[in-house]
Amino acid sequence: MRVLGIETSCDETGVAVYDTDRGLLAHALYSQIALHAEYGGVVPELASRDHVRKLLPLVRQTLAEAGLAASDLDGVAYTAGPGLVGALMVGAAAGRALAWALEVPAVGVHHMEGHLLAPLLEDPSLRPPFVALLVSGGHTQLVEVDGIGAYRLLGETLDDAAGEAFDKTAKLMGLPYPGGPQLAALAETGRPGAFTFSRPMTDRPGLDFSFSGLKTQVLLAWQQSDRSEQTRADIARGFEDAVVETLAIKCRRALEQTGIHTLVVAGGVGANLRLRAMLQAMAEKRGGRVRFPRPAFCTDNGAMIAFAGALRLMAGQHEDAGVHVTPRWDMAALPEVASDRA
């Protein structure tokens, strides 16, 4: 089954073609970073308009790279939520119209389920049960995965997501948009231990997160410092170490609590090299394993939507002829595809 995947939940336009027999055939991504940089953050109306301009050319490009015509497609998957409503509507309307014209089924995909399943895209041996850390600019969640669509939320952020905290901290220290990757790069030249910040909510039981207080600690440290470039790098390193260690502590607790030995990490912050190294060391010490998607598939992309959509289309799930999006969507409400327990 050849499935076209469309991702337009926020500020990146992603398109891919996934073949259930041959794997990923082609994918393309357009980022709106330059468009939103002037404003220091995503402007929803501008994001929607840019998706309108870029989506169909990307579809044509991706089909050409896959060596396919539109008529060769067997299904269409598009991000139906969560996300910016206008941006979601662009992808949903285009995807549903294309499916209608080709007389093939279409399915709306949950954006976070796409991220959660991204590591399986290139590692067919990876099967539930596992614990997933979904860590991005909009979400920080620990989820117990017993099968495709069988999800139990273990813990989540009570305020800022980890990626959001990275971006806001970078902005308050004067780093350019998008701040998260800039801060992580700056932290590479920071001195370990020069600044030490708290590991939020690790001194109490539970698997929830909170990063807003950490952001405030960094602000105070920056305001009271000499604001030199080395100090900026040292603070960035202290902040990154605090976030990474907090995530690792909570992941270890989740594995211990569930008795599961496999951890899957997905979402934009999952590309952070220090986080990858710490989680790898933690998993190996426990005799378990951790799996990440390639860095290009950590951020929003069409490949994860094509793959997740293909799993649901193969299970017979599809949408009616209407165009439906769900800007706020609880992943626990998704129907189960099948039992994938190893």
Known binding positions: 111, 115, 134-138, 167, 180, 272, 300
Token reading at 164: 């959001």
* CA–CA distances in Å: residue 306 to residues 58, 106, 269: 14, 11, 21
User: Nearest to residue 9, comparing CAs of 322, 308, 305, 310?
Assistant: 305
Residues in the chain: 342
Element (H, E) at 237: helix 229-258
Helix (H, G, I), strand (E, B) or coil at 112: helix
Token reading at 283: 């998993």
Question: By CB neighbour count within 10 A (0-12 exposed, 13-18 middle, 19+ buried), where does 67 fall?
Answer: exposed
Who's near 99: CB < 8 A, 6+ residues apart? 75, 76, 105, 106
Binding region for substrate: 134-138, 167, 180, 272
Residue 176: asked if its preceding bond is cis (omega within 30°), the reply is no
Who's near 170: CB < 8 A, 6+ residues apart? 179, 180, 182, 183, 236
User: How many whole angstroms separate alpha carbon 254 and alpha carbon 251?
Assistant: 5
